[in-house]
Structures are given as C-alpha cells and as structure tokens.
Copies of this chain bind each other. A is one copy, B any other.
Amino acid sequence: MKLYELVGRNKEKGFSPYVWRTKMAIAHKGLEAETIPLTFTEIKDAVDFAGSKTVPVLVDGDHKVKDSWDIACYLEEVYPDQPSLFGGSIGKGQAKLLNFQIVKSLLMPLFRVLVADIHDILDEDDQAYFCLTREPRIGCSIEEARNTYRPALELFQENLWPYIQCLKTQKFFSGEAPAYSDYILYGMFQWSRIVSTKNIINQDDLLFEWRTRMDQLYDGLGGKVGLIN
C-alpha cells in the first residue's frame, strides 16, 4: 500500500488531520502503507492519477482511493476479516454523522487557532500558496491571525464539552475499544500537536487521558511523532 500525505519542511511529519484518520484506520486493520510525502503545491500533480486534488490518497494494488471517508469504507469492505472500523451499518452511519459534526464546531475554529503555526512549518513555495488561498478563508492576514487566535480557541474548547462528558463513562468514543470515530477525533488533535506548541487540551482533562491511550495504539504510531517545531 502507498499513502500520499501532506508535509511541511520536515518530510517525516505529516500533519493533515484527514491523513491521520487514514493512518490509524490502516493500522487498525493490521495493515501497513508506505507514505509518500507531498507539500501543498506538489499535491495537485502528484495525486491527479487518482482523480483527486487532496490527500489522503491510498493506492492498494490496482485500487486508487481518494478521500479519508471513502478510504475507511474501502478498507472496511476489502478487509472484512480484520478488526472492524465501524462495527456494522449502524456504527458506520453514526461515524459518517460525526464526520460532519466536527467540521464547524471543532475543525474550523481550530484551523483559525493553528493557521499561523501551519504557515510557519511550510516550505517557502507552500507559504506563498497558503497565504494566497487561506487568507481569504479566515478574513485576515496570517500575521493578524497569529495574535488573535484566543476567541477561536475558547470556542473550540467550549465545543469539546460533549466529548469530555462522554469520556466520563467510556474509554473511547467508540465504546470500550477504539474505532473509526476515535480516529476522526484523534486526527484533529494530531494536526494540532504536530504543527503547534499550543496546548489545546488541559493535562488534567479526560480528553488528555484519552489522547494518551490513543498515542499508545499500534506500537505508538501516533505518540511517537512528536512536535514538528
């Protein structure tokens, strides 16, 4: 298997929240993939062969699959004898809902928090591209965003409330063992910790304990990445 992923100057440390979902899903299935690191400006040409403009893209033999959700569904279908990512059709339906639930409530405010940190880990070509495409999206310059992230961080942390509540009675968002809904959320936290030194969750928080459990899965796949800067 080959997995195309997004990197900054450091080619070892992919930071896309969506690619992290896929990395964890591949490991959950007991599989391994060679990663192909790409910068933002390299992605378009590099994954055009799969009809995609974004990563992750997974190549598995003759199969080319784009989009993290479609890759999860592909893995579940093609490797049914390996541990399940969704636990059946009800779990799959609910995971798809979660896929959308975190977009505006968590991913968008967190992007606003991290945008300057992401900028700083990119190579020069990517920095120019990133400013050009992302500044209209956030409605200000990267430099202005650097010092005005607090309200977005507060909103993000407020919106973590249901996730913290949930962990009071269960170890993972998928119940007693991790599955795809945990990878959806873990990808977001990996994104943050790899591009930024900002602490977005408190150490005495149930979410922190959950992330530590997630870090230890699959030979410490997520935990051993460390901070990029």
Taking beta carbons and an 8 Å cutoff, which residues of A are in contact with B?
Answer: 84, 86-101, 103-105, 161-163, 165-166, 169-170, 172-177, 179, 181
Contact = CB atoms under 8 A, between A and B. Distances in A.
Contacts of A96: 166, 169-170, 175
Given A104-B161, A104-B162, A161-B104, A181 B97 contact: yes
Contacts of A97: 98, 162-163, 166, 173, 181
Given A94-B95, A98-B97, A181-B97, A89 B175 contact: yes
Nearest to A181: B94
A193 to B, nearest CB: 22
Contacts of A103: 162
A90 B174 contact: yes
Given A90-B181, A93-B181, A100-B166, 20 more contacts: A84-B90, A87-B88, A87-B91, A88-B88, A89-B174, A90-B91, A90-B174, A91-B94, A93-B172, A94-B98, A94-B173, A94-B175, A96-B166, A96-B170, A97-B98, A97-B162, A100-B161, A100-B162, A100-B163, A105-B105
